[in-house]
A and B are shown apart, each in its own frame.
Chain A
Amino acid sequence: MTLETHPDRGGAGTPLLQAKTLTKHFPLGGGAVVRAVDGVDFAVMKGETLGVVGESGCGKSTTARVVMQLLPQDKGEMLFDGEIVGGQALTLKEYRRQAQMVFQDSYASLNPRLTIEDSIAFGPTVHGVSKAAAILKARDLLQRVGLDPARFAARYPHELSGGQRQRVNIARALALGPRLVILDEAVSALDKSVEAQVLNLLADLREEFGLTYIFISHDLNVVRFISDRVMVMYLGEVVEIGPVEELYGDPRHPYTKALLSAMPSMDPDNRTMEAPLAGDPPNPINPPEGCRFHPRCPHAQTVCAKVKPILATMGDGVRQAACHMQVPGSGHSHAPALEAAA
Chain B
Amino acid sequence: MSTPQIPTPLVKIENLTVRFRGAQTVHAVNGVSLTLEPGKVLGILGESGSGKSVTLKTLLRLLPESRTDIGGKVSVDGRDVLALNPQDLADYRGAVTSMIFQDPALALDPVYTVGEQIAEAIVRHEKTSMKAAMARALELLELVRIPSPARRLKAYPHEMSGGMRQRAMIALALAARPKLLLADEPTTALDATVQIQILLLLRQLQRDLDMGMLFVTHDIGVAVEVSDRLAVMYAGQIVETGTVRELIRDPQHPYTKGLLAANLHGAKKGERLEAIPGAPPALTEPPDACSFAPRCKFVQDRCRAALPPAVQLGEGRVVRCILAEQALVAAA
Residues of chain A at the chain B interface (Cβ within 8 Å): 55-56, 161, 163-164, 191-197, 199-200, 203, 218, 220-222, 224-226, 244-245, 258-259, 262-269, 271-281
Contact = CB atoms under 8 A, between A and B. Distances in A.
B221 interface: yes
B48 interface: yes
A341 to B, nearest CB: 31
A194 B163 contact: no
A264 B221 contact: yes
7 contacts: A200-B273, A218-B191, A258-B193, A263-B221, A279-B161, A279-B163, A281-B193
B258 A193 contact: yes
B192 A218 contact: yes
A196 B193 contact: no
A266 B279 contact: no
Contacts of A271: 224-225
Given A197-B277, A200-B273, A268-B244, A192 B218 contact: yes
B272 interface: yes
Nearest to A275: B197
Given A193-B259, A259-B193, A264-B224, 6 more contacts: A55-B192, A192-B218, A263-B196, A268-B244, A279-B161, A280-B161
Interface in B249-289: 249, 258-259, 261-265, 267, 269-270, 272-277, 279-280
A275 B221 CA distance: 15
Contact of A55 (B191, B222, B259): B191
B194 A264 contact: no
A103 B199 CA distance: 29
A264 B193 CA distance: 10
B134 interface: no
Q: Which of B197, B218, B264, B274: most chain A CB closer than 10 A?
A: B264
A272 B192 contact: no
A291 to B, nearest CB: 17
Given A195-B262, A277-B193, A264 B248 contact: no
A275 B193 contact: yes
B225 A265 contact: yes
A272 B219 CA distance: 15
B245 interface: yes
B273 A265 contact: no
A221 B192 contact: no
B220 interface: yes
A178 to B, nearest CB: 23
B248 A192 contact: no
Contacts of A191: 47-48, 218, 280
